[in-house]
Amino acid sequence: MLRLVSPAVRIEPGLLRAVRLLLPAAQADAGTELDAWQHPAVIGAAAAGATLDPQSAARLRADFADEPPELQRQVLALLRVWRKHAPQELWFEEILSLAPRSRALLPAAGDLELAERFFRQLSQQARAVLPGGVPGAALAWYRRCERRLPEHAWSAGGVGEALQRLSWAVHAQEPGYQPPPGFDPAFAPAGAVRHLELCQSADCLEVTLVGGMTAGRAGRSLLGRIESGSGLVQVLPLDDLPPWADRRGTDAYGDWIEFSVPDPTGSRVVQRLRWIAPGTFLMGSPEDEPGRYSDEGPRHQVTIGDGFWLFDTPCTQALWTAVMGANPSGFQSPGRPVEQVSWEDVQGFIARLNGLVPGLDLTLPTEAQWEYACRAGTDSALYTGPIEILGERNAPALDPIAWYGGNSGVGFELANGWDSSEWKEQQYPNPKSGTHPVGEKQPNPWGLYDMLGNVYEWVEDHWHDDYSSAPTDGSAWLDAAGAARVVRGGSWLNVARFCRCASRSRVAPAVRVDDLGFRCARVQVREPGGQEGAGGSGADFGGSEPLRLDSAAPAAVTLPDAPAVEVRTERAILTLRRTPRPAWASAMGRDRFGLWAEIAIAPDAGGQPVIQRLRWCPPGRFLMGSPDDEPGRRRAEGPRHPVTLGAGYWLFDTPCTQALWEALMGENPSTFKTPDRPVEGASWEDAQSFVAALNRRLAHLGDADERFVLPSESRWEYACRAGSDAALYTGPIEILGDANAPALDPIAWYGGNSNVDFELDNGLERSWLKDLQYPGGKAGIHPVKGKRPNDWGFYDMLGNVWEWLEDAWHDGYDGAPPDGSAWPSDDAGAGRVIRGGSWDGNARDCRCACRGQDAPGSRYGLLGFRCARVQVSEPVGPAAERAGPAAARPAVADQAGRRQVRRAEPEPAGLWGRLKGWFGGSESP
């Protein structure tokens, strides 16, 4: 009976009876209706109507297509009559839900055309003026409809095309949107972002649209993910450098490239540029920003359509002198920024440098390009967050990132500094001030130094008093020759308000002063014939033919025979390197999850080495945190925000085992003792001691730029999600009770199932939990790899033990690093982040976004960790020395037994910020 009514999206009691009456009395009676109404597949069985659960509906509709054609025609004709007085979209959805051979039996042939026209019009309305063009009720209905539609509906001729275009129109701007199954990239509107997955299969590189019909990655291993707007992807040997470049590479900030010119001494002056990918940002400042001027508005959206290279520092005196033969600067030393140069002088420098290095094709950045690069994906007054101006030259938030009038006397050593003794309200009063060598302050998230302070920087644009009628495409805003030019960034002698991302000033193009410099840009474009140019628009794909991803099927290319490969789109550059087995690895290989390596740690007391496998996490971008409507969500998991990991890293595929801990540390603090279980009873400080010992053990085998660390919170969540955007890496979570979430059972040992097959004598009863998925019995930690791994091959990321991370605790993500780095705290005793949930926790604890905290000295039987191997010693400046290893944290006195206080209650207001619960703030878990 249910098979016959399965084409109905909504099953009314009268419809059920009418379909039953189509059957002979010997086959169905009133009891048949009752049986159907009470069937487990029927959900929401209200008096007005019921629905079928999606899995059952798909199966029953397939069975319906096997019924005799004449019976199918009768049912569909009856359903069409029944829908005569219902909203038309209900009938159209039912048409699209039919199997193709059932659709051919529709009583009115024109209905399919009407459904196609309806969805096409809805799509056009959405693309034109969403959300105003689509009535709210229709939009809400469509969001429900698209979740119910079967996969074949999305590829059914004109209707499928209309649905795919509608999906893009409704969702493309939503963070983390994944296209529907079988999505054809050709239907994406111009400028839409495609998320592409790169996999290796034998000696081929395959590029696939994420969310397309990929049928998993059988026989292929993941290399990385990249974004594209055009669907064009180019694969180039990395040793095929542009003729103007000396070398290039990737680090924690992203991609860089270098050129050099000879100086008068016979040496060469090297200048590094950073890749700035295309994107959209809000230019200008909000009206309530401290220090704002009216010329910084109106705030408006700007889309940078072409990626570009940008000097990572202002032009130095060394580079200027090498090109021009003389140094006009007032504060002379080679590593300081050149100053006393007019806009016209800079044009002469650029022309001469482009002549010295053919193909370099430098320009000044436009004002929009400069602010986009300065903000580096942020939206606040500074690229590190908001600004608080305590006095004219006193804004403490500037101190770590900029030389400005409040601190430019600190460490200033030249004899000809400006007399700054009379400057008002200096953060650090000093008698002399001036410029400082470039790269001494913290860079922004894209690796650009001195974007704020040190020297003002000339840009290409003419001055306008505000942004009314300003270009929205990132191009220069030009009027007439001789007009004042824009300068950006503030300088060493300025008050604090001038050193904000949105601050702008004007200077006549012939003016030379000792706080005015510049940095150069190189916009990469493709000109006819595929050659690079210096202007225009479009992506730079060099001289070779790019891959064109025109459908959901993978596009493939043989990997070049080169030590490294560069994968380019117009939005990003991803570098893939042929890597031999690292010296620290005892073995290395590939499987369906991707690249793996192993370390072998021999116990000091002798015996067989303990093997620990690590998995490679490729560079990529993901949404960190949880949406507001995720079941079990806690406030500290927001705001949800994009994080870009510019460099890949290795991560233990399991929590650190007791066997590995004992081999390295010589003892075992765990409560639930077996070698294959995760180590527990180790504090954050103990974990740091383990990491330091591991680095010492393998120091003679490793790269000086790499080190084992506790992963940052961003790296942990990125690896846990493994490309997923749901509550679990296998999909959504339904929490039926305190410790009852069936979706967790295949992947995690949590409070609801940790009694299953638990064999040790010292298990616990879980009396602190209720609504258990599997009641009764004692429970505890289980051996690693007892549950299914995620798509990148990581086991026990959820459940079993909470895992210590490097980060200090913060109550939410406001101000969180967008580059995947650890988030420290000025408070040495601050709580440390733990992630993943554990064997004794609620179901809500075991979600990809769930985060907790504990004191760094805490030890008890549900806290463990896993290690990452990362590049940790990037230079802090162009000429900075490499950082040494972090000092090991001292261990603290052991705490016996299981921790009794499991969650903090809401704290009295007087203790705010001093006592912290696991989940922070005053939220009751």
Q: Mean pLDDT for each 10-residue chunk of the chain (925 residues)? A: 84 84 83 82 70 81 88 89 82 84 83 80 59 53 75 69 72 59 58 75 80 49 76 75 84 88 91 92 96 96 91 98 96 97 97 95 97 95 96 96 97 95 95 97 96 98 94 89 88 97 96 97 55 33 56 74 78 75 89 90 90 92 91 94 88 98 96 97 96 92 80 97 91 94 96 96 91 94 97 96 97 91 87 96 96 94 95 40 25 26 25 24 28
Alpha helix ranges (H) inside 240-305? none
> What residues form DSSP beta bridges with 623?
642
Identify the pLDDT of residue 178: 60
Radius of gyration of the chain (CA): 31
Q: Tell me the CATH number for domain 586-876.
A: 3.90.1580.10
- Give, for 138, the enclosing helix (H) or strand (E): helix 136-148
* Three-state DSSP class for residue 869: strand
CA distance 629 to 634: 10
Residues 6+ apart with CB under 8 A from 650: 597, 614, 615, 616, 617, 868, 869, 870
Query: How remote is the C-alpha of 235 from its chain's centroid?
Result: 23
Identify the pLDDT of residue 453: 98
Identify the pLDDT of residue 82: 86
* CB atoms near residue 267 (< 10 Å): 11
Identify the pLDDT of residue 828: 75
All CATH 3.90.1580.10 domain ranges in the chain, comma separated: 263-523, 586-876
Burial of residue 486 (CB within 10 Å: 0-12, 13-18, 19+) is: buried
* Three-state DSSP class for residue 72: helix
Q: Tell me: domain 263-523, CATH 3.90.1580.10, correct?
A: yes
Cα–Cα distance list, 316 to 244, 255, 402, 416, 519 (Å): 19, 21, 16, 19, 9
- Give, for 620, the enclosing helix (H) or strand (E): strand 620-624
Buried b (16+ CB within 10 A) or exposed e, 516-526: bbbbbbbbbbb
Identify the pLDDT of residue 3: 86
Q: Alpha-carbon torsion 831, 846, 724, 795, what sign?
A: positive
Amino acid, single-letter form, for residue 923: E
